[in-house]
Structure 1
């Protein structure tokens, strides 16, 4: 396949100031279409090179998009051969699994360390082995991404594989093909055969934007760019990979029909072939200069648009590298001088607002990844708009992070407020544009189940263990149904067919039939479970059971809500004015009522069972921790069925706190404060026996 000459590019009408008004495809013949497609392919490759490799585009995004779209249209309309075409970036057919592939040469790891002494020991070993005191080093950033092998034959992209164990990796050919900075065809005077090593990563700015979209959709963000890149590259559906902002730097040759005299010569040659390299490299004359280079990159790391976790120091001369050789796991001519992990202090790159299942709006800080308590985090809750104001945190600020209870990261202090960004809490919901209401320090979306974020989270909650406990509808399965457009609210679950489900990736006829059967079994749910499943704010399992026992039927609850009778709800144990108002507001919401009406076309909530007597009348229990003989829900139901009350918090009205395994400390402290008697599980059962319950 001959290379394209400069003269060919100069004659190509789509290189400089390209026209974007094209004749309809039905008005041109196949020969014209082929000629135009060839020109467009070369032009798109040229523009990719200017944008991704030279960082110097000559046309705008709209013009580029028009050229790319026209090429896609021609290839589809005239069934043109697309091998090596830039249009193959859009993603191929989904795969059942990623097959394994053997590398053309071992992809070894590199010896590494974070102490200067270790770097100097490496230098001493190199000089001793080569018998010289003068060694030139090639220094480059150590990218925090995913290493891949990419093979070109006759200049055309052939395949790609992850590093794996160094000998065998996963075949990610179709996924890597979608990365815009990976050329489908090399430029210039390229070798007949070339296997190169590159690092796939997500640019920091794109990672922040990507996480912002995930948070606003109610999804968990990725912890760091490396995890996001690795997960994206291993997607079974290349079209998903194509939608994510992956990029690549090339930095090594695994095998080639050409030789290089030095690493610096290789680095200089790569861009001429269209292979993107990092511009923050240096050739230095001794290890002192290499250490200085490392310290310069450490100072610069926060300002880069990609994550680096150190630098790689390589003997520049290839003949010297050959003489030094390798151990069984790593080359003797390279060393990775690692940076210290970021600890507790980091920079806020964005602040986004996440919409919870109940409509609560929570501001979330997206940050440069930082180590806190041995865990790397890149997001932290700001909890509510009042806290944002109290902290005075803005985009670009340097902040201190801690993990609340060693689990949830929080922003606790602004260290430097010189950031140039500004965050203002929205007046409308970011998911549905409904007005935002404030309740003390909290903020809530008023859209209810008309809000897509709340509606989607409500589907997952409806099927959860605490609600209707529908087997086969975990978080991953629910998200798949949402992404496929088969479900948008809980009522849609009852309209699923086995045929629709069996067509989804990872589903078969058996699993599809099982889920349809599970939904049929959930058409007559217990009243308390149905109330929990609706996701009424402030109504958990205990409150739902109390409502079911007090009102008996769903119709009675609905009648009280329609009448705005908050007093009727306040008469229920464990329901105060706030919860009563929340119940009435939920059923008054127009969007909630529309979904509920559809649900009731499929569901008939069963009236609450009569209590088993009044053996525990006047006694109030609170449970904490895990019980061996009961679920906590069963224990609470047993108490209520026999005339007692089961509440969620300890107060002066509580008679007993029942302690299971790993009990909550706060409830125990509250029991001490109020003089509440505590029981272990055996003592609880003994009490039930004394009252004739067991």
Structure 2
């Protein structure tokens, strides 16, 4: 009997995998959706009754249901590089010249649509999907396997003559149809609609409940295959093999014999892209030969054998209906143009940022003007001009507001800048909520499950008004909130308790002192061992710290002299939050760099600037902020500019790339 049930389960799984293959890969379904759902339901019921036959790649896992509290960080075995961009055919021709100069032999290209979504790397072993990881910083990403398994056109298992272990790289995206469905549902539930499909797709991958991810209707396309056991000789051949094994590849990709054919492909899709059911923001061009790819290699951040041609921003005309004003976390006021809805680059645009008073003045914006709108980088709508021919006689210029739209406080304009802000930082609702959202954010106190919507509910319920109030919350106070289950409430309480272990430098960043970012907070924590020391420091003592000028010093002293802030800090301290440096904050690992000075410039790819400067200090060296004769080493990343030129002019400064810097440490 048991053997019969096991066989029935295995047969159903095999049949459903085949139907998925027929539908998503061959585009030739052989049964109806109803029949498919009936088979799936039968399998679900059998698996529920017989958990001993669990299979991590069962088709039923498409439905989701796994809840992930934290996404583990995974190091990519093969780095996920970014692509260099070209914006016109001149750029493209320059790229081809560099390729030809290295190879000095005929080259053919593959042109592919550049899907506008989120990159993913998926590991398969023995034909089964084992692990899916986001791009992250290219070196490390978040492991989101349960969420990716809910995407129907990513096979859970494949068939054919494939390597035992390989990776596929691809793009997760949302069709415009599914994006519109999501927004319609959100508006019906009283939520603001999402801005664009790309950000929605990316955010969907980080939802903690995979059943919710399933509801988003994400799609995927594969654009790269990586294995040490390749039998193919070209990129084109690899993707065709991947398609035969069950992967979905771009139907529009083209094999081009020369750059002229690439240009024809680009010109065609620049016009026709809006006929697609999904967004693209350009065309990716790759050298087809794998041996030529290997010969060309990589720069510090990009493959030399590929480039992305980005489409120019589109421009449409629509009517300005009114200007409203948003208040940010720091009190900065952002004017927003509310527009008559218009289709732009595949999405409906209703709003565009006007940034500040100077932009409004420069545009000479009047009430009910007809304006020209572009999408900066194909994502953010912006007004780039006014159609003065359509301006109504007697229409009035837009006048910038004088008082905060949220709390009524008179606005203050930053001297010599176009920025207005509300000075009522401790009681203006968006600033209060924004400061608390900042406090719990990943780079600050990193409190799990305490998101912006929950904080807004807590604020409206008068349960929290500043970060110290989080530590007085109870599970019983959380449970009445909308969509708050007991387990979620418990997770929040545990996350708040765990945040008491977060080090002093992150707490300094999290409490939201104006102008104190991550880097400044870190340097303050190294120079002042506790909040008490910092509180007693004078402005003159503060400016002695590297990278802290008079403006930041004044902001710090003002924050630490405010009675309400002092009360909040006293409460945080009483609750056990780390308001003094730990024992290992200034730990030195070696004296390798003793007496040596370092400066980092350009775009770093092997580590962040903060990580680099910390390595210098941990090994006895000193970081300085400018190129001078006192500088021993200049470490350069991509696109290093004036600092590199000045160092070369001085002549006594040793210039290193990132790997050479690491080699110095490891000598």
Aligned mates of 1:321, 1:311 — CA distance in 2: 18
Alignment match, 1:656 = none
Cα 1:153/1:246, change in 2 over 3 Å: same
Shift of 1:124: 1.3
Match for 1:131 among 93, 104, 115? Answer: 104
Aligned mates of 2:429, 2:456 — CA distance in 1: 21
Shift of 1:96: 2.3
| Residue 493 of structure 2 corresponds to residue 508 of structure 1 | yes
Moved over 6 A (4+): 407-410, 464-467, 469-478, 509-512
Secondary structure in 1 aligned to 2:129?
strand
Alignment match, 1:550 = none
Q: How does 1:329-344 map to 2 (within 5 A)?
A: 329-344=301-316
Aligned mates of 1:98, 1:510 — CA distance in 2: 15
Alignment match, 2:189 = 217
Aligned mates of 2:275, 2:112 — CA distance in 1: 16
Match for 2:256 among 284, 288, 303? Answer: 284
Aligned mates of 2:172, 2:20 — CA distance in 1: 17
* Per-residue Cα deviation, 1:584-639 (whole angstroms, up to 9, x for no partner): xxxxxxxxxxxxxxxxxxxxxxxxxxxxxxxxxxxxxxxxxxxxx9xxxxxxxxxx
Secondary structure in 2 aligned to 1:344?
strand
CA contact (8 A) 1:208 1:366 kept: no
Q: How does 1:320-331 map to 2 (within 5 A)?
A: 320-331=292-303
Alignment match, 1:163 = 135
Shift of 1:282: 0.7
Alignment match, 2:288 = 316
| Residue 168 of structure 2 corresponds to residue 196 of structure 1 | yes
Alignment match, 1:642 = none
Secondary structure in 2 aligned to 1:54?
coil
Aligned mates of 1:173, 1:248 — CA distance in 2: 14
Q: How does 1:10-29 map to 2 (within 5 A)?
A: 29=1
CA contact (8 A) 1:377 1:409 kept: no
Cα 1:366/1:205, change in 2 over 3 Å: farther
Aligned mates of 1:195, 1:471 — CA distance in 2: 40
Alignment match, 2:93 = 120
Aligned mates of 1:62, 1:35 — CA distance in 2: 23
CA contact (8 A) 1:366 1:380 kept: no
Aligned mates of 2:49, 2:339 — CA distance in 1: 47
Alignment match, 1:149 = 121
Aligned mates of 1:332, 1:471 — CA distance in 2: 42
Q: How does 1:468-479 map to 2 (within 5 A)?
A: none
CA contact (8 A) 1:367 1:379 kept: no
TM-score (normalizing by structure 1): 0.51
CA contact (8 A) 2:225 2:239 kept: no
Aligned mates of 1:112, 1:481 — CA distance in 2: 39
* Per-residue Cα deviation, 1:261-298 (whole angstroms, up to 9, x for no partner): 11110121111111110110111111111011111111
Match for 1:301 among 251, 256, 273? Answer: 273
TM-score (normalizing by structure 2): 0.53
Gaps of 5+ in 2: 319-337, 353-367, 387-426, 439-449, 465-473, 498-561, 563-667
Alignment match, 1:262 = 234
Cα 1:319/1:409, change in 2 over 3 Å: closer
Aligned mates of 1:377, 1:256 — CA distance in 2: 45
Aligned mates of 2:116, 2:225 — CA distance in 1: 19
| Residue 86 of structure 2 corresponds to residue 107 of structure 1 | no
Cα 1:470/1:191, change in 2 over 3 Å: closer
Shift of 1:344: 3.1
Q: Give the paired residue count.
A: 396
* Per-residue Cα deviation, 1:402-447 (whole angstroms, up to 9, x for no partner): 99xxx9999x99xxxxxxxxxxxxxxxxxxxxxxxxxxxxxxxxxx
Alignment match, 2:44 = 72
Match for 1:140 among 112, 137, 142? Answer: 112
Aligned mates of 2:55, 2:84 — CA distance in 1: 42
Secondary structure in 2 aligned to 1:503?
helix
* Per-residue Cα deviation, 1:43-84 (whole angstroms, up to 9, x for no partner): 111111122122221211111111111111111111122222
Aligned mates of 1:402, 1:208 — CA distance in 2: 21
Cα 1:256/1:83, change in 2 over 3 Å: farther
Alignment match, 2:23 = 51
Shift of 1:30: 3.2
Task: Provide the alpha-carbon RMSD of the alignment.
Answer: 4.3
Aligned mates of 2:152, 2:343 — CA distance in 1: 26
Shift of 1:379: 4.0
Aligned mates of 2:242, 2:117 — CA distance in 1: 20
